[in-house]
Each structure stands twice: as C-alpha cells, then as structure tokens.
Amino acid sequence: MQRDIFTGEHDAFRDMVRSFIARQITPYHEQWERDGAVSRDVWLAAGRAGLLGIDVEEKYGGGGNPDYTYYLILNEELARAGANGPGFSVHNDIIGQYLLRLASPEQCERWLPGYCSGELITAIAMSEPGAGSDLQGIAASAVRDGGHYVLNGQKTFISNGQLCDLVIVVARTDPAAGPRGLSLLVVERGMAGFDRGRNLDKVGMHAQDTSELFFSDVRVPAGNLLGDEGGGFVALMQNLPRERVAIGTTALAAAEAVFEQTLEYCKQRQAFGRPIGSFQYNRFVLAEMATELAVARAFTDRAVTKHIAGRLSNEDASMLKWWDTELCNKIVDRCVQLHGGYGYMREYPVARAFADGRAQTIFGGTTEIMKEIIGRGLGV
C-alpha cells in the first residue's frame, strides 16, 4: 500500500533498517529468546548504524534529524520481523524524549553520547507491585539529604531492566503533594543499593529482558534530578502520548505482517483438494481482516501526521493505542485459527506473534485506561 507520509529518503532508510535487522538481529533472535535478553553487541551495532538518538544533536553523536517518521519506520520493521528483543523503542521513543525535554546541558554532555552509541542502555521505572496505570499510587520515595536524594522502593515490569545502565526512576519526593510530589531521578549502574531482581518469566517477548528493580538507600546525586523537583507527573503526562503512538503503530505493523503471512499460507495450504483460502468462510474471514487493517491504517497514518505536526491530543493517542493493540490481538488470533495446528507451533511466526503481542493492550496504559481517558475527553 502506498503511504503518503513517506518520501524517497524514508524508503531508503527502510531498506537500510531491513538490511540491519536481517544481518544483526534475525540470525540471533532465537538464541536471545533462550537467553532471556539480547546481546549488548546489537545495541552497539544499532548505534553505529545511526538507529539510536536519530533526533539528538550531532554534537552528542545523534542524527540531528527531528523527523519522527524515521522512528516510525524502525519500529514498524522490527515489528514486521518479529524482533521484539531489542528494546530500541523504549530507548528512543520514551527515554530519549525525557532526556531531550528535561536534561540540563551538563546532563546532556554526560549521558547523550553513550545513549546514541548504544554504550548506555536506558530504562524507565514507573510500575510498582502496587501501582501500575495509577501513577498517583507510586510508593517509591526519595528524601533530600544535602547534595543527594536517598531513594528507596521497588519497581517491576521494567523493560531493559537487566541490561540498563541508566534508569529514570519515578519517586515521591513530597508525600503531602499528591501528583505534584513526584520527581524523576536518574539512577546509574553501579550505584550502591541499586539491585536488579530476576528477569521476569513472561508469556511472550522472551528475548526482551523485563525485570524487578530494587532501591535500598541509594544515594542519587542531586545533579541526577531530571527536570524540576515535583515535576515528574507533568513530564510523564507530556510524554505518554508519544509512547502510545509508538505502541499502537508497532502493533498495527505486526498485525499487517501476520496477515500477509497468513494470506500466503491460505493460498498454498490444501484441504479437500483446494487451497483453504478458497472456502467461502475462510475467504470472508480474510476479507474482513483486510478491511479492518485498511481502516486502521488510514486512521493510524492520520494520527501520525497529527503527531508530527504537534497536534495529536492525548485522547487521540489513547484511541490509537487502544484500537491498534486490540485489533492486533484480534487479527493474530484469527490467523492462528486459519493456520490450524501449525498455528500453535512456535516455529511458525504466527504462534510467536500470538504470545508476543498479548501484552500490548496492557503496557503503556491498559485498554481500560485508554477508554477512561477518551471518555473524560468527551466530558462524561
């Protein structure tokens, strides 16, 4: 399908990304799934290829290109390849935006070169055992003590948790201030009292390390405060739409890829002497999926265009995230059924997509939270 949001330069970049994935990711992904984490080598390779910090100034080693479409292409191609292991989107679409928006010149000098080269892998620690979508329920605390904050608390479901060298921790610096009492502290690998728990055993996405993190009297220098004290909640709200766009567009690309694979399977697989796609019921299922994906693609690309122009509302980002992630689960489930017994075998991409994609309606804000945001925007 021709998509108006792309130019020839974008197409050339897509070709480069596909080549990178074919050389640096696909041959190793099965091993990474067994290991529960990717090799740090792929992060360094991504840095050399210019896939990290595309919008970071060149003086820090970035690409100096503010065009979000390049990140969109990277995320789409990773999704199409089923390459969920490298947590590049967390690094680029989430952490990078906090650093670019909030980091001081001194912090930029310290962190951005390694961020762009892949030497510093990043994560963000929001969720806790007792606080997920409700950020106001965060219990991790940081108390100012001279030139440091003393950080205590526990985080869970942290992507890049085992590999990360820098982690932005959401902590409560003023217990009496409600949402205005949250701040962002950057904890660095090797700080005393910062420990990683187990690499969590997930249903899918086995190559992406997802961890518990523990902070026990970690003395975080005041110079590692990101943004203003008490400004954490506002910063989170400002960055969540970008995160939800990334999740939604990735989900739609994954659904399109699985549909294409399934359509080809239905043309080749024979039953009762003819291709299974030629049976009316199966043909209708394929027609329904093709239509649903086409409608979602039109809505998604329109939303991306608004995001690039700085006009995408929080409600629209929530609609995008809800619709595309739920549609992905629906499409993949139907494709498993069309594959029959083979659809349940992990050697088939559709089976891995079935397990890997299920979390998309949960992380970044559950579908129910998305509907709540949309509903409030309607004034009800």
Single-letter amino acid, residue 269: R
Element holding 169 (H helix, E strand): strand 166-172
DSSP string, 47-92: HHTT-S-TTS-GGGTS-----THHHHHHHHHHHHTT--SS-HHIII
Dist CA 258 CA 279 (whole Å): 20
Phi-psi region of 272 (alpha: psi -120 to 50; beta: other; left: phi over 0): left
CA distances from 84 to 23, 255, 352 (A): 16, 14, 10
CA distances from 189 to 72, 107, 295, 334, 352 (A): 29, 16, 45, 43, 32
CA distances from 209 to 205, 248, 320, 354 (A): 8, 21, 26, 19
Distance of CA 338 to the CA centre of its chain: 28
Q: Is 378 helix (H, G, I), strand (E, B) or coil?
A: coil
Angle of the 314-339 helix axis to the 280-308 helix axis, nearest 10: 160
DSSP state letter for 131? B
Dist CA 307 CA 315 (whole Å): 12
Dist CA 58 CA 132 (whole Å): 36
243 catalytic? Reply is yes
Single-letter amino acid, residue 159: S
Find the catalytic residue in 188, 243, 292, 315.
243
Annotated catalytic residues are 243
